[in-house]
C-alpha cells in the first residue's frame, strides 16, 4: 500500500468554562437567585438567548480551521442543569451538528456542574459516572464542590476516558484553599488508577478548570502521580493565558493526557498539538481590559460577552486506511 493511500483524520478535544450558564427559572435547590429576571443582574430571556448564541458560536469555531468541523468532545464547566445544555446544542451554530450530552447534578453550593457534549457521529459513550470530592472546611463541616465527571467511550475505534474537572476556587486565598485542590487531584489519581486496573495502557484525557496554573503543586502532583503529560506547561506567559485576574494572566484551564498519546502506531490516536482558543473576537477590544476575555458580567454589571475564560483544546490525529 502506498503512503498516499493513508488519510490523516484530526479530532479536536476542547474544554470551556462557560461563566455561569444559568437558565432564567428559579430552582429552590440551587443558589441561582443572582440569575433571575428580577435579580440585581437582571438575567432575562433575551440575555440568556444571547449568551447561548455566543457560546455556540465559540464552540463551533474551536479547531475548525484544521478539521472543518467543531470539536468531537467538549468538557464544560459552570452549567446549571441539563436544560441549558439542550439549549446550547440547539443554538444556531451547533444545531446542525449531532451533539449529545453527558450531565449529572452535583451538590456544589453554587449549583453549577461540569458536563460534556460530544459529536455523536465520531464519539460513542459507553459509560459515564461522577465522583464527589470530600472536603472539610476549617471547622470540620463538609464543603460541597463540583463532582468530577468520567466519560468513557470510543473515538476513532479506540477507547478513551475523559475526566472533566472544576476544582475548588481560590476564593479564600490561593494558599488557604490549596489543600482543597490537592484533594481533588488525589481523587483524579484514584479514578486513573481504577481505570488502569482494567487496562494498564488505557488512553486518558484529564481536562478542566483546575483553579491552579501548570506550575502549582496540585497540577504537578496530578501530572507525576497520574503519569500524565501536560502540553499546556509552556503556554502561560505575562501576555497569555486562559483568564485574567487583576491584570495577571492565569492558565487554570488545561487538558492533560496519558503519555501513550505519543505512540505512533497506524490508526491509533496520537497527540498533535495543544492551544488556547483566544481569538480576537473573544477579547475586549478597547479600554484598560483590552485583550482580556470579553465576559458576560463584571460583578453585577452586564457586559454581554462570552465568558471570563478562553477555551483550551488539543488535537489528536489518526491515520485512516
Per-residue pLDDT of the chain (321 residues; tens, 9 = 90+): 455 567 899 999 999 999 999 998 888 777 677 787 887 888 999 999 999 999 999 999 999 999 999 999 999 999 999 999 999 999 999 999 999 999 998 887 777 899 999 999 999 999 999 999 988 877 777 778 899 999 999 999 999 999 999 999 999 899 999 999 999 999 999 999 999 999 999 999 999 999 999 999 999 999 999 999 999 999 999 999 999 999 999 999 999 999 999 998 888 999 999 999 999 999 998 889 999 999 999 989 999 999 999 999 999 999 876
What confidence score (pLDDT) does residue 3 get? 53
**Which residues are CB-contacts of 155 (< 8 A; sequence separation ≥ 6)?**
11, 72, 73, 122, 123, 269, 316
The pTM of the whole model exceeds 0.85: yes
- The Cα 151–Cα 49 span in angstroms is 28
Cβ distance 94 to 59 under 8 Å? yes
- The Cα 321–Cα 316 span in angstroms is 16
What confidence score (pLDDT) does residue 4 get? 58
Burial classification of residue 46, based on how many CB atoms lie within 10 Å of its CB (0-12 exposed, 13-18 middle, 19 or more buried)? exposed
Provide the β-strand partners of residue 313: 14, 275
**C-alpha closest to that of 80 among 48, 37, 127:** 48
What confidence score (pLDDT) does residue 119 get? 98
Buried residues in 228-253 as b, exposed as e (16+ CB within 10 A): bbbbbbebbeeeebbbbeeeebbbbb
Q: Indicate the helix (H) or strand (E) that contains 188.
A: helix 174-198
What confidence score (pLDDT) does residue 134 get? 87
The residue count for the chain = 321
Provide the β-strand partners of residue 37: none
What confidence score (pLDDT) does residue 1 get? 46
Cβ distance 239 to 283 under 8 Å? no
- The Cα 316–Cα 269 span in angstroms is 6
Assigned C-alpha cell, 130 = 461522577
Amino acid at each position: 500500500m502506498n503512503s498516499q493511500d493513508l488519510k490523516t483524520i484530526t479530532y479536536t478535544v476542547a474544554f470551556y468554562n462557560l461563566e455561569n450558564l444559568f437558565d432564567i427559572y428559579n430552582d429552590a435547590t440551587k443558589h441561582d437567585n443572582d440569575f433571575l429576571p428580577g435579580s440585581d443582574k437582571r438575567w432575562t430571556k433575551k440575555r440568556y438567548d444571547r449568551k447561548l448564541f455566543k457560546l455556540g458560536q465559540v464552540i463551533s469555531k474551536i479547531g475548525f480551521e484544521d478539521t472543518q468541523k467543531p470539536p468531537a468532545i467538549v468538557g464544560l464547566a459552570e452549567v446549571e442543569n441539563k436544560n441549558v445544555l439542550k439549549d446550547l446544542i440547539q443554538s444556531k451554530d451547533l444545531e446542525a451538528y449531532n451533539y449529545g450530552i453527558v450531565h449529572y447534578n452535583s451538590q456544589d453550593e453554587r449549583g453549577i456542574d461540569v458536563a460534556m457534549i460530544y459529536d455523536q457521529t465520531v464519539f460513542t459513550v459507553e459509560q459515564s459516572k461522577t465522583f464527589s470530592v470530600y472536603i472539610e472546611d476549617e471547622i470540620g463541616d463538609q464543603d460541597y464542590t463540583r463532582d468530577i465527571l468520567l466519560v468513557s467511550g470510543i473515538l476513532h475505534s479506540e477507547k478513551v476516558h475523559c475526566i472533566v474537572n472544576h476544582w475548588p476556587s481560590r476564593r479564600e486565598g490561593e494558599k488557604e484553599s490549596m489543600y482543597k485542590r490537592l484533594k481533588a487531584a488525589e481523587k483524579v489519581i484514584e479514578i486513573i488508577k481504577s481505570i488502569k486496573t482494567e487496562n494498564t495502557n488505557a488512553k486518558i484525557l484529564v481536562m478542566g478548570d483546575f483553579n491552579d496554573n501548570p506550575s502549582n503543586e496540585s497540577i504537578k502532583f496530578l501530572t507525576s502521580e497520574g503519569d500524565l503529560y501536560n502540553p499546556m506547561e509552556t503556554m502561560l506567559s505575562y501576555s497569555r493565558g486562559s483568564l485574567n485576574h487583576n491584570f495577571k494572566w492565569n492558565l487554570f484551564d488545561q487538558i492533560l493526557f496519558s503519555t501513550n498519546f505519543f505512540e505512533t502506531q497506524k490508526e491509533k490516536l496520537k497527540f498533535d498539538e495543544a492551544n488556547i482558543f483566544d481569538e480576537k473576537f473573544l477579547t475586549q477590544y478597547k479600554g484598560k481590559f483590552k485583550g482580556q476575555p470579553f465576559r458576560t458580567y463584571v460583578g453585577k454589571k452586564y457586559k454581554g460577552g462570552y465568558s471570563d475564560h478562553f477555551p483550551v483544546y488539543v488535537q489528536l490525529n489518526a491515520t485512516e486506511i
